[in-house]
Chains A and B, each alone.
Chain A
Amino acid sequence: MEKKLYSITAIYSYPNDIIRAAKTVRDAGYKKFDVHTPYPIHGLDGAMGLKETKLGFVTLAAAIVGAAGMISFASWVAVVDYPQVIGGKPYWSWPAFVPVTYEIAVLLAVLGTVGAMIAFFFKFPNISHPLHDTPYMKKVSADKFGVSIQADDEQFDEKKVRELLKSAGGEVEAVYYSEEFLTFKPQTFDPKFIVLLAGIALATSAGGYLYFNKVLYLPPFDWMMMQPKVNPQTMSEFYADGFGMRLPVAGTVARGFIPYPYALGAKADSVGKFLVNPLLPTKTTLDLGKKKYFTYCSPCHGNFGNGDSRMNGQFPNPPTLHSDKVRTWPDGAIFHTITVGQNVMPSYQYQISREERWAIVNYIRTLQRAYNAKESDLQ
């Protein structure tokens, strides 16, 4: 096997010596030389006369790609693909995208830097170098500092180089290599090896799947959710008609419930005179009426019954409750309107109990009185 000269190396014992040696070699005009140390030494790149690395531009480019890509992806998801109102904010709420954009930018910058370093600077997949497996490399990766001047440098002359390195106080040694060693191909892309890797991947994932989904399988803990009862609005398998919710038996009345005798179409002023308010306008009933009025009536009729809706025009505004028509109505007419509804106003008999409806009537009467107070009320 033919051996060729790769470089002349020199070993030094102290960091200051290697900095001085690097300066000497640089000043002598050598271009193809390298310095090896077990740990980074401050000021060495300056002593070697290294140019600034271009790796920072890769980092910058990767960060810009990451940031731009992420902000466009987040915008596309939030505006185009799956628009959802979150917290009443517009679809394109950029402050929410900032953290994820920042993090993807950092992630891509890091991956891009490492990737570029391996691909361009380390010339992957080339994994051999003439200095590998030499006594020189063993020393400089433990406790010594070395400089190596390559034989293919333009002004290389073995004698001169040896003298130069010796004058800088080093222990000089030549490194030889064989072509065979350099053309050594890593077996990473050998088909057999690839098949082996794929087989291992398949076996572990299949084994993992079977183990977790078949051997260790536990049914989900859903016994609180899945009870043998009929939920509202669901089908029943027990009753022949399939309805889960039952109707009252014909001719019966539920306890504490008085059926309402008037139909939806009945005019308020015609049926009102037959209904008598069972409640007195005491503090208790007025407080109840006020509470229920604010819950159910005020969204459309306004806080004081003026018909100034709080719904910002989402529903048509109702007329005021302080008109002569409503003020001269009997209590029963207002009760009937709440019970069966009128025009766009729906029936409230299922939301508001009978008592509460009468209490609301009392409260409306109070509002009307307040808006049309007599002289005597003010005293």
Chain B
Amino acid sequence: MSTQVATAEAGFLARVSRFSPPRRYLPVLGTFALFIGMFGVGGIRYDGFADPQVFLTLLLDNGFLIVLAVGMTFVILTGGIDLSVGSNVALSTLIAARTLEVGWPVAAVIGVVLLSGTLLGTAMGLLIHYFDIQPFIATLAGMFLARGLCYLISVESIPIEDGTFKTIAFGSITLPGGYYLGWTAVFALAVVAVAAYVLSSTRFGRTVYALGGSESSALLMGLPVAATKVGVYAISGLCAALGGLLFALYTLSGYSLHAVGMELDAIAAVVIGGTLLTGGRGFVVGSLLGVLVLGTIQTFISFDGTLSSWWTRISIGVLVLVFVVAQRVLTRR
């Protein structure tokens, strides 16, 4: 009996030690390990860091960035880039704040914000696909356009006083053990789940990967290249609008100087999440982890107190470098 158990155990151990995850999961696992490691170190060094509520607050504080990073993941998977998302967030907060100010119903406000964001993304996608304008330039134009529209709406910050918005902003789910998770965080996680489903299990999602693998092959395979390429920018626009709504809930204001440079954080999160900037490889879950890593760095610095805030940027830069070089080495093989 005991020998049998022992062999079974040995077999299990052997299987565990032999188990090697497919290469494509390596970057995501790396990010996951990094995140766990950082949390572990934080837990050892600082009191209260290991408290689950710290993690839950991390989700709440970065909900909008998670949604942005999800949209950016679609774009980057096709080998493109979207610089407009930060401005798009600011524009969304302003549209929401202004329309609420003049008394629109909440549903209409949300509708018009989502529509405008998606339209901006679609327009850029059309420029990119049908006129061969490089994504970098087309979305740069989108970035300027959205920022300019912000100033047209209002130069000053507009506070959001609407009751429904406030309820959503402060609402949370109580978890066992007295912990709580903000509604906006729940919403962001839902977006991640939907995106993960779309990318892994729909034809559109698989075509996104195919485009990133080789656009000319995708065309020759008869896949819907045009619709997909325009589609990812539309999705990124939609996500930016969603992110804008979450940001408006987070700050309860609309302001033209909101989210300056947030596109960089989104891109960095996607890269740190293990998505290849050349396209074709990566997962939204990775981007979620990437955002969490960025958030943890900030939590680290705020817990420490002696570290200055600029270390956030430097460490993000170093992480981007490490991931980019590692990917270069992995793909060169």
Q: Do A and B share a complex?
A: no
